[in-house]
Amino acid sequence: MKKINPNINRENKVIEIRGLKKAFDDFEVLKEVDLDLYQGENLVVLGRSGTGKSVLIKIISGLLSSDEGMVKVLGQQVNKLKPKELDRLRLKVGFSFQNSALYDSMTVYENLEFPLIRHAKEMGRAERDRTIHFVLEAVGLLQTINQMPSELSGGQRKRIGIARTLILKPEIMLYDEPTAGLDPITSMEINALINDVQARFNTSAIIITHDLTCARSVGDRMVMLLDGQFQHQGTFDEVFSSDDARVKMFYDYNFVN
């Protein structure tokens, strides 16, 4: 169980969502969703596959548009931003994709250099080198700097994906199923890395997962998405002390089966 985090600033909402709705054809994925993320907090969003968890963070990052509602990120209403304004906001929001999204034709160094060349044009080669070495050391994989993604394990690719996200120093991290497809030991290492990123880089984060070991390890607070709405929230113990049969089934699937 994660220890109480004294660094959460509940006076500062870095993400604020009110009345969010999203449907695909006749299927309502998100129904009147309200959500806050506070500065310095790791917030876990729980739910079964297909319940709209990934849709939520794609709307937060502007990759999908909502049908109704307000999504405010770092004080800016996402759906009212012009394309260039949205691009600038996205530089402050790191998105760790489920499949790591590395470029197979580039070395680890080149994968990390790419966002710096694109978004930090004023940075010289020596500073890029220092920055790349720093984030690789932060994720414990400096030795992979000249390797290709195909030479890395699944856990290493996850770590490099997180390193590439960190390289632009985002204020918010969005993790989409960070332990999916990993063995238990590697999953524990990724969970520890998420907590280390929070402490070392002073990030706020939303972690999308259906892995309760991950949730219990990294979450300062968690919310459960059921039938398109957040129906339970609090600490891990508070959420799973509910008498709701759907919550009990979710718990039993993770820890019994």
Give residue-wise pLDDT tens across range 45-58: 998 887 899 999 99
Q: pLDDT above 90 covers what percent of the chain?
A: 84
Residue 256 has pLDDT above 80, yes or no: no
Residue 175 has pLDDT above 90, yes or no: yes
Q: What is the mean pLDDT of residues 103-124?
A: 95
What is the average pLDDT value for the chain, to the nearest integer?
93
Q: pLDDT above 70 covers what percent of the chain?
A: 99
Phi–psi pair at 147, nearest 5 degrees: -85, 160
What tens digit of pLDDT does each residue of 34-46 get? 999 999 999 999 9
Pick from 112, 215, 227, 125: nearest CA to 168: 112
Residue 257 has pLDDT above 60, yes or no: no
Provide the β-strand partners of residue 206: 43, 174
Per the listing, tokens 């500073």 go with: 127
**DSSP letter string over the chain?**
-PPP-TT-EEEEEEEEEEEEEEEETTEEEEEEEEEEEEET-EEEEE--TTSSHHHHHHHHTTSS--SEEEEEETTEEGGG--HHHHHHHHTTEEEE-TT----TTS-HHHHHHHHHHHH-TT--HHHHHHHHHHHHHHTT-GGGTT--GGGS-HHHHHHHHHHHHHTT--SEEEEESTTTT--HHHHHHHHHHHHHHHHHH--EEEEEES-HHHHHHH-SEEEEEETTEEEEEESHHHHTT---HHHHHHHHHHHT-
What tens digit of pLDDT does each residue of 134-157 get? 999 999 999 999 999 999 999 999
What tens digit of pLDDT does each residue of 60-71 get? 999 999 999 999
Lowest mean pLDDT among 68-72, 98-102, 217-221: 98-102
DSSP state of 164: H
More reliable by pLDDT, 101 or 88: 88
CA 199 to chain centre: 15
